[in-house]
Structure 1
Amino acid sequence: MASLTIDFFHDVVCCWCFNISSRVRSLADEFDLDLRHRTFVLQASRAEMAARWGTPRDARETILGHWAACRRASDRPERVAIDAMRAAPFEYPHGMTAARGCKAAERLAGQAAHWDMFDRLQQMHLGEARNVADAEVVLSAARDLGLDATAFAEAFDDPVTVRAVEADRQRARTLHVRSIPALIVRETGTRLVNGPREDLAAQLRADLRLVA
């Protein structure tokens, strides 16, 4: 069977990305997928959060409304802790700090580490109501994954890592990606339509027929 290379654009704070990541994981081996993880930071700072959502309270309530819709569509709704995030003692986080963590993991141990870091941070964010805009939370995720703490901290703080986040943003612009999650098959240019696992599987089968 031919293999497919897929650019997966995502943001740790995106609940819809949480749904898709687990589905794509379950399909990766079945379809011999080569996933290339791309950070797509929806808002990169408190200022950008305010410009997009208004007050911190407004931001939280609006975004948690999105969480509710996402939880209804999730294969694992019990892992989306809306009440815990509503009660959390911090402002709803932007995604830049977590994106740096994902790219730092990638620099140390490749695409698999990026994905593992992404999923761990999403679990911290959506399931444990932790502040993924806090560098210490990201560093603790690296420890959870067994990454070398010193090397990870150095990569996390390295300006090269920030530039890697910006490079992913530039790639998104080149591919006309404006919303996430986005899954783009390199061999065909197809953008997969997000949905249940079997819908994704059907789309992958169609793309494999095109490249066979």
Structure 2
Amino acid sequence: MSPLKVEFFHDVVCGWCFVLAPRLKQLQDELNLDVQHRSFILQTSREAMVERFGSMPKAKETILSHWLSCSRAEDVKRINIEAMRQQDFEYPTGLLAGLACQTAKALGGNEGHERMFDRLQEAHLVQARNIGDRATVLAVAAEADFDPLAFATAFDQQAPQMLEEELAQGRRLGISSVPSLVIDGRYLVPGALSLEQLRQTFIQVRANQKQAQGATQ
């Protein structure tokens, strides 16, 4: 049977995306999943952060309270709340990280996008680095074995349009929160499901596919 297509819409700064990602990886081979990475950024500017949370200090306070819930839900504990709390930079939007993921996609396809997403999430949620800073993002890209010059060029020239197209794709599919999965191009599944919930969801979609194929024969 052909792989089951799973579009994983995520934002690098999202703790729940960090919780869900390893569960998808665990099931990828077990259930023959074709996981396609998609960027979907909830706040793309400082102004949007202030509008959403009231101020940048309140944004950081609120988001770190969400990190606590994410940490409790992790299968392997990695989120470092105190390290981020101690940093003096404002909590970043996901814009530069989203552009970096699209740059990685331009240079390395879906595998590149996945690798960059994982590295940036680790830099953000585990190492408490400022991924709202261009130099930091480019440094993480170099650490992820992307050529620095090629990455910087694609970041400026290709990534903005690619990101806008992917955000528009998400909106067309009804994405309004992250993480969200679109399975088989038809089933929208929001939220950080548990490993077993994910497994059963994919098994049910497979069953639906077989039932539909049987009805057409």
TM-score by length of 2: 0.92
Aligned length: 209
Partner of 2:18: 18
Mapping of residues 1-212 of structure 1, within 5 Å: 1-77=1-77, 79-158=78-157, 160-187=158-185, 189-192=186-189, 194-212=192-210
After the TM superposition, list the runs of 4 or more consecutive aligned residues in structure 1 that deviate by more than 3 angstroms.
none
Cα shift at 1:192:
3.1
Question: Residue type of the partner of 2:41?
Answer: V
In structure 2, C-alpha distance between the alignment counterparts of 1:165 and 1:34, rounded to whole Å: 21
- Superposed CA RMSD in Å reads 1.2
Q: Deviations over 1:12-55 (max 9, x none)?
A: 00000000111101111112211221111111111111111122
Counterpart secondary structure, 1:183: strand
In structure 2, C-alpha distance between the alignment counterparts of 1:129 and 1:54, rounded to whole Å: 23
Cα shift at 1:76:
2.0
After TM superposition, the structure 1 stretch with the greater mean CA deviation from structure 2, 62-71 or 141-150, is: 141-150
Q: Deviations over 1:46-88 (max 9, x none)?
A: 11111111222111111101111111111122x1111111110
Contact 1:23 1:197 in 2 (8 A): yes
After TM superposition, the structure 1 stretch with the greater mean CA deviation from structure 2, 42-51 or 9-18, is: 42-51
Cα shift at 1:2:
3.4
Question: Residue type of the partner of 1:56?
Answer: M
Question: Residue type of the partner of 1:103?
Answer: Q
Question: Residue type of the partner of 2:179?
Answer: P
In structure 2, C-alpha distance between the alignment counterparts of 1:28 and 1:135, rounded to whole Å: 32
Contact 1:192 1:200 in 2 (8 A): no
In structure 2, C-alpha distance between the alignment counterparts of 1:173 and 1:53, rounded to whole Å: 22
Q: Unpaired segments of 5 or more residues in structure 2?
A: 211-217
In structure 2, C-alpha distance between the alignment counterparts of 1:89 and 1:157, rounded to whole Å: 27
Question: Residue type of the partner of 2:201?
Answer: Q
In structure 2, C-alpha distance between the alignment counterparts of 1:114 and 1:201, rounded to whole Å: 24
Counterpart secondary structure, 2:182: strand
Counterpart secondary structure, 1:18: helix
Larger radius of gyration: 2
In structure 2, C-alpha distance between the alignment counterparts of 1:186 and 1:113, rounded to whole Å: 22
